[in-house]
Amino acid sequence: MKYTFTMLIPSLVLIGLIMIVPSVLTIYYAFTSWNGFTKPTFIGLQNYREIFSDSLFWKVVWNNIKWTLFFLTVPMILAFIAASELNNVPQKAKGVFKTIFLIPYVLPSLAVARLWQIVFFHPLHGVITKVFNHDFLGSTSTTLWAIAMIDNWHWWGFLANVFSAAIDQIDKTYYEIARLEGANRWQVFKCVTFPMIFPTFIFMEIMTVVWSFLVFDYIFIITQGGPGRASEVLATLTYKTAFFYLRFGKGSAIATTMIMFASVPIATYLWLISRRGGRV
Amino acid sequence: MRRRNAISWIVLITLAFFALLPVCLLFLNSFKTRGEIFSNPFQIPKHFSFSNYVNAWKYTDLGRGLLNSFMLASLSAVLTMLIGGLAAYALARRVRGSSYVITFLMFCNTLPLFIMLIPLFVWFQRLGLTNLVGVVIVTVGLSLPFSILLLRSFLVTIPKEIEEAALIDGANNWQIFWKIILPIARSGFLTVGLLNFVGGWNAFTIPLTFLAANPDQQTAIVKIYTLSGQYTAPWGRIFAAIVVVSLPMIVVFLIFQRYFVQGLIGGAFKF
Amino acid sequence: MSVKRLVLVLFIMMAFLSTMLARELYLWMSWAEQERKEWALERYFPTFEQQTGIKVKAVEMPGDEQTLRTQLIAGKGPDVVGVAGPSFVPLYVDAGFLIPLDEYAKKYHWDELLTDLYWKLGHYKGKLWTIPQEFEAMVLFYNPRIFKENGWKPPRTIKEMEELAAKMKEKGIMPFANGNVGWKPAIEWVFTAAVNHIAGPEKVYEALTGKIPWTDPSFVESVEATKKWFQEGWLGGGKFFSLEIGEVYQLLVEGKAGMAIWGTWAFGGIVHHSTSPEDWDWVPFPSKEELPYPIFAIGVGSSAGINKNAKDPDAAAQYITFRLREPLDNLELFAEDLKVNGTTVFTPIKGFELNDETVNRLKELGVDERVIKFLVLSTEAFEKNTYGYVTWTFWPPESDRYIIDNLELVWLGEMSSEEFLKGLQEVFEKEFKEGRVMYVPPRS
């Protein structure tokens, strides 16, 4: 049976043109000094030397790591709880809940960001500000977490649906056995639910790490990396370096470091798959 | 048993509240004046005024924006499904070089968007494609890696025997794809289609950059962005516009929620 | 063919040709409020079309520089290019976005219209490239009602201002309605005000012309002052980094804030919140005791250049001329413009004098007295040489950006004032050597 390679060609050509060629160009720019106006001049590894020796860069990477840690835990926990509990309600209600959870995900990021910024986190009138008597977005120690919380509100519903669908595939007899043996909620989760959806879980965790190093929208819209550098991440640093400081060469170099960091989890994942014979 | 269920209900309702409350506030605030939004963001507006909606619609030509959004979203969804579907099928059946292609596609997922932005824009400008057509092409190109991988994982579960039977009956590859595979994997395709539709509807960076000089072709989201002036932003109007732009998405969702939600895993993430 | 027929044919041809040649001007506009957009579409552009026969195609675009530059790189963009400030001119010229304006300057007598300062600001490498517009200055806004209730007087010295701020804070009034959410550069307003009114314009001039470094003690003092204003909780009531720029007008007008460090562009914004003289007024920004008073740190909002790809550059030149000559040719229109857009529409030109007659005429036409006061006082400042320099006009672009990005680190205690200024000096020196510093008008 012939599955022709030609079926792959349209996709590969399109991806090559749209993604690869421009990216290669940008990688080339990473080795140049370019102000975005006149012609770029080749300067070799100098951009990288500057970047890696700048303590600001590493502070920014640390912000990305903090963001990653947040998203590896908080939305996951919420999604797991939701997905597990969804198991215990009748089908129709389940569908309604799943849809409700998905609605925040459907809203555009500009909308979500502005909504939370004005209604909840506003320094004078915001609901959260009043309740906790603290300006979360305006203080350096809490701003990154506040933005993460906003993005989390947008994201966890999607995760919940993913996990719920995965749980749907688990054979119900396992649950009955567990119940018969008198397992409590936590034990059911630990011994039945979690192991069975492990592949899904691990995939989403990997993608979370990847996406965390690319995160841009919410931070840019809400604080643009401020105050100070408290919420600066690699993507906003790239944008600023290129568009505000007019140093496109250096900006491109920072962008390439994003790819480097994001490739690590991907490589890990692929290695895991090959190790376990495709059974991850 | 009943106590267990009760807890589940409580948890789920709390979470639903958490998800919906901000949305309700968005809706409520879209009826308020700017001053009211700031003084009382949490309360029901004193007078429900539709002026925000009227203004948003009139002054940003939101109607046309929605039309453009719809064209972008549907075209990119359909094209991605077709082009990507073919590729996914080939990969699912392990064509020669599949593992390399899969690795390549996963790698593509790590590329941040604006690493491609300026070269793409300059290039498309030279081709005269800084219009909706150009945006569709770029959007499809960018969505393909993830969509192909997702589709592939659905198609992998279709047993080969069905195709073999069809082959024996004299069908060629393309007929098999159209008449057998597609119907079976319908929900998977729909899922990917919906994902792309939502992505196209909410897309921001590419439409903004490419269509900056072409307000007639701008999508609704871009138009909302331009509502914010340099110093002040008419928040009531923006919220109203956001409600108008988000509503179709929510409706599409409610109609197709079955497919979207079910298909996300289906046989997915199996590599 | 008979003569009659020939004439008829010629006539038809000419009519046809003239419609084809109907001149068009393609502009990008970014209106902060709806009223401004309506006025422009209903009054401003039609007047221009009437007087020149050129049709205006105005498109509403995001006002940020990145969008503009992206389009220019691709060979598109508006006919009249709004360069974000004189400091961007070298970059735009070197990139080939603009055409030299010398021939239009001769044709439309711009050299006779523009004051010396503005004429020179638009020059680079010996040619004229832009016409600076949107005249603005840093001042101190305040709420007269709050001041009256508390028996306060508008401050004339920095010391008085700081004392007032402390008193306001005690009473729970926000001392300065300032914030930078949505417009990060708002922080450089504070820097500009401090540096010009504490170190003084003479020092700024010397630093901008490379005679003294930015690490001079007078600048350290200025930066330290801004740090104090922030750390005492005066700027934005301690919420500077989370206050949205648009709401600060409301705060001042309602009396929740007592003062504000804004520039005169705010006239255009605040009139849409309140026109009552009880709610807001302004005084020149206070100076340190040893310095003259009043000082106006002046600047240019944006400059107009002509796109290399403009189909009809002459039409663009006519538009620029129309804008420049507005006070001379169309005083009523100018008055309306002032009312809707504030003083940024004003470019000081020779031949337009703010004598009593003109002032009264403007008052009759309904221009706000506070706006007229600024026009008069700033013109005097020009004549008496008591003007200063705003960062976004006279600092080169990277140095400007450096200030915007790093001043907050000083305020948050993550960087010392000395380190900040040392960094500024490094960036500035580099740009200075590259010839990126634009014309800095000498003191006399």
Give the nearest partner residue to B226 out of C62, C70, C244, using CB atoms: C62
Residue ranges for chain C with pLDDT beneath 70: 1-2, 4, 7-8, 11, 14-21, 62, 444
What percent of chain A clears pLDDT 90, i.e. is strictly above it? 20
Q: How far is CA A206 from CA A155, A273, B109, B114, C110, in A?
A: 15, 12, 12, 22, 63
Q: Are residues C87 and C193 in the same domain?
A: no
Q: What is the predicted pLDDT for the residue at C396? A: 86
Residue of C nearest to B58 (CA): C34
Strands (E), chain A: 32-33, 41-42
Chain C residues touching A244 at Cβ < 8 A:
401, 405
Averaged confidence pLDDT in chain A: 84
Q: Are residues C247 and C391 in the same domain?
A: yes
What CATH number is attached to the domain comprising C341?
3.40.190.10
Residues C48/C55, Cβ–Cβ less than 8 Å = no
d(CA C334, CA C44): 9
Do A26 and B115 lie within an 8 Å CB cutoff?
A: yes
Do C250 and B35 lie within an 8 Å CB cutoff?
A: yes
Q: Any chain A CB within 8 A of the CB of B28?
A: no
Q: What is the predicted pLDDT for the residue at B2? A: 54
User: How many structural domains are present in chain C?
Assistant: 2
Output the six-digit token pair for B245.
């732009």
Q: What is the mean pLDDT of residues A260-265?
A: 84
Q: Which residues on chain C place their C-beta less than 8 Å from a C-beta of chain B?
A: 30-34, 37, 59-63, 67, 70-71, 73-77, 182-183, 244-247, 249-250, 269
Chain B residues touching A236 at Cβ < 8 A:
none
Q: What is the predicted pLDDT for the residue at A1? A: 44
Q: Any chain A CB within 8 A of the CB of C182?
A: no
Strands (E), C46-89: 55-60, 80-83
d(CA C215, CA C222): 11
pTM of the model: 0.78
Closest by CA position to A79, among listed A146, A167, A148: A167
The predicted-structure confidence for B110-153, as pLDDT tens digits, reads as follows 777 767 877 787 788 778 787 899 999 999 999 999 889 888 87
d(CA B11, CA A275): 39
Is residue B40 domain-resident? no
Q: Are residues C117 and C42 in the same domain?
A: yes
The predicted-structure confidence for C211-269, as pLDDT tens digits, reads as follows 999 999 999 999 999 999 999 999 988 888 888 777 888 889 988 999 999 998 888 88
d(CA B240, CA B247): 11
Output the six-digit token pair for B32.
């308020």
Closest by CA position to A118, among listed B238, C328, B79, C267: B238
Is residue B173 domain-resident? yes
Q: What is the predicted pLDDT for the residue at C281? A: 92
Q: What is the predicted pLDDT for the residue at B267? A: 43
Is residue B5 domain-resident? no
User: Is residue B128 exposed (0-12), middle (13-18) or buried (19+ Cβ within 10 Å)?
Assistant: exposed
Give the nearest partner residue to B119 out of A22, A111, A273, using CB atoms: A22
Chain B residues touching C59 at Cβ < 8 A:
213, 215
Distance from CA of C68 to the nearest CA of B (A): 9
Residues B145/A15, Cβ–Cβ less than 8 Å = yes
User: How many structural domains are present in chain B?
Assistant: 1
Task: Give the architecture (CATH level 2) of A54-240+261-275.
Answer: Orthogonal Bundle (1.10)
What CATH number is attached to the domain comprising B245?
1.10.3720.10
d(CA B20, CA B15): 9
- How many residues comprise chain C? 444
User: Is residue A39 exposed (0-12), middle (13-18) or buried (19+ Cβ within 10 Å)?
Assistant: exposed
d(CA B83, CA B141): 10
Q: Any chain C CB within 8 A of the CB of B215?
A: yes
Residue of C nearest to B216 (CA): C59
Range of the domain at C140: 136-298+386-433
Residue of A nearest to B27 (CA): A115
Do B22 and A21 lie within an 8 Å CB cutoff?
A: no
Residues C94/C85, Cβ–Cβ less than 8 Å = no
Q: Are residues C211 and C341 in the same domain?
A: no
Q: Are residues C290 and C174 in the same domain?
A: yes
Do C67 and B212 lie within an 8 Å CB cutoff?
A: yes
Handedness of CA B123, B129, B135, B136 (dihedral sign): negative
Is residue B217 domain-resident? yes
Residues B154/B264, Cβ–Cβ less than 8 Å = no
Q: What is the predicted pLDDT for the residue at A280? A: 47
For A157-166, A269-278, C56-65, C325-334, which range has the lowest pLDDT when averaged over its residues?
Answer: A269-278
Q: Are residues C166 and C277 in the same domain?
A: yes
Q: Are residues C199 and C182 in the same domain?
A: yes
pLDDT tens by residue, chain B, 271 residues: 455 678 888 989 999 999 998 888 888 888 877 666 666 666 777 677 787 787 777 777 788 889 999 999 999 999 999 899 888 888 887 777 888 888 888 888 777 776 787 778 778 877 878 789 999 999 999 999 988 988 887 777 777 777 778 778 877 777 777 777 777 777 778 878 888 998 899 887 788 778 876 777 888 888 777 666 544 567 777 788 888 888 888 787 777 766 655 554 444 444 3
| Token pair 């992998």 in the structure block, residue | B156
Chain B residues touching A109 at Cβ < 8 A:
202, 204
Q: What is the predicted pLDDT for the residue at A194? A: 83
- For chain A, give every domain's residue range: 54-240+261-275
